[in-house]
């Protein structure tokens, strides 16, 4: 078994765990089954998720969606390992969430994943910071917020598009890994496209289709997310955190952080 599952917190009808997978490209994927509703936030790595709802490549910031009783496979032919914050809910628990959301008329997910959503960025950073600091008391509220946002997004209009090829998914996975390893330095679209042997235009199109955002948006989100986690889990100076994350100007960092997280870095840190 290449997966380590650590229970972080639980309560009546819900549970959250830290799931670390060390599977590599040569490992054969094995079939598993969701025992409850699953809403899992990918925090590191990439993997291919195949289930009854469809097949999708998941990257950091994406949300894996699973229905109880549904079998699924996770493959790592494009890279090694991943890490997720996995929230599990009983049908009765999630039914109460559905009844509170306008427009959410059915219990169950029709799609295998949600792309990174700007509205979820603050709560995902809080959840990852809670994991790093061991703040188990925060997870029930975080789980509710994540579940509500996932159901609301899943209830929206669906988009019809050509399914990306496995080659394109591999190219995007390689670019995601490059961004994750080098987010603190400048990364141009041309450099990312050269690393996948495609033209910048084709790379931009397939990246947005697979990852749900442009490469620059993903790079910026990666930097802001890492800064948000450090603001929650450390006492380092805000300027130090900004520069370490890859921002060369503090005012730019403050402006972008407020736009992404909804408040200034100092106010965000004070909430802890």
Kindly tell me if the per-residue pLDDT of 61 is higher than 80: yes
What is the pLDDT of the chain when averaged over all its residues? 89
Specify whether 171 is located in the same domain as 150: no
pLDDT of residue 162: 65
The total number of structural domains in the chain stands at 2
Specify whether 147 is located in the same domain as 20: yes
pLDDT band per the 50, 70, 90 thresholds, residue 157: low
pLDDT of residue 156: 66
pLDDT band per the 50, 70, 90 thresholds, residue 149: confident
The answer to whether residue 161 is domain-embedded is no
pLDDT above 90 as % of the chain: 54
Specify whether 129 is located in the same domain as 217: no
The contacts of residue 17 (CB under 8 Å, 6+ apart) are 5, 6, 7, 8, 85, 86, 88
Residue 263: give the domain boundaries: 166-270
pLDDT of residue 158: 47
- Select the more confidently predicted residue: 20 or 103: 20
Select from 134, 154, 174 the last residue of a domain: 154
Specify whether 53 is located in the same domain as 107: yes
The answer to whether residue 160 is domain-embedded is no
pLDDT of residue 231: 96
- Select the more confidently predicted residue: 117 or 105: 117
CATH of the domain at 243: 1.10.10.60
pLDDT of residue 240: 97
Kindly tell me if the per-residue pLDDT of 257 is higher than 60: yes
Kindly tell me if the per-residue pLDDT of 159 is higher than 50: no
pLDDT band per the 50, 70, 90 thresholds, residue 271: confident
Specify whether 206 is located in the same domain as 248: yes
pLDDT of residue 212: 87
Select from 154, 181, 207 the last residue of a domain: 154
The answer to whether residue 159 is domain-embedded is no
Which tens digit of pLDDT belongs to each residue from 201-251? Answer: 888 889 988 998 899 999 999 999 999 999 999 999 999 999 999 998 899
Which tens digit of pLDDT belongs to each residue from 62-94? Answer: 999 999 999 999 988 777 889 999 999 999 888
pLDDT above 70 as % of the chain: 97
In 3D space, the residue among 123, 129, 261, 271 whose CA is nearest the CA of residue 253 turns out to be 261
Specify whether 180 is located in the same domain as 223: yes
Specify whether 192 is located in the same domain as 61: no
pLDDT of residue 150: 85
Structure tokens at 268: 């965000």
Over residues 244-272, the mean pLDDT reads 92
Specify whether 88 is located in the same domain as 200: no
Select from 127, 154, 181 the last residue of a domain: 154
């Amino acid at each position: 078994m290449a997966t380590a599952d650590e229970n972080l917190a639980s309560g009546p009808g819900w549970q959250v765990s830290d799931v670390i997978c060390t599977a590599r490209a040569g490992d054969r994927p094995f079939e598993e089954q969701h025992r409850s509703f699953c809403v899992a936030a990918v925090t590191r790595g990439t993997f291919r998720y195949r289930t009854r709802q469809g097949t999708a490549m998941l990257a950091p910031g994406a949300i894996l969606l699973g229905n109880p009783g549904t079998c699924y496979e996770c493959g790592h032919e494009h890279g090694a390992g991943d890490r997720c914050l996995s929230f599990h809910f009983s049908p009765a628990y999630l039914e109460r969430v559905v009844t509170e959301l306008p427009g959410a008329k059915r219990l169950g997910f029709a799609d295998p994943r949600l792309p990174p959503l700007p509205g979820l960025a603050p709560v995902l950073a809080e959840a990852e910071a809670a994991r790093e600091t061991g703040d188990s008391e925060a997870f029930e509220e975080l789980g509710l917020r994540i579940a509500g946002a996932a159901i609301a997004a899943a209830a929206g209009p669906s988009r019809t598009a050509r399914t990306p090829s496995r080659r394109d998914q591999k190219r995007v996975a390689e670019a995601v890994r490059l961004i994750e390893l080098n987010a603190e330095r400048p990364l141009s679209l041309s450099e990312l496209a050269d690393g996948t042997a495609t033209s910048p235009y084709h790379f931009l199109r397939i990246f947005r289709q697979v990852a749900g955002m442009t490469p620059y948006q993903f790079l910026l989100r990666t930097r802001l997310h890492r800064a948000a986690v450090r603001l929650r889990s450390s006492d380092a100076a805000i300027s130090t955190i900004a520069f370490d994350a890859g921002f060369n100007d503090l005012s730019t960092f403050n402006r972008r952080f407020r736009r992404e997280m909804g408040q200034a870095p100092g106010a965000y840190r004070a909430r802890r």
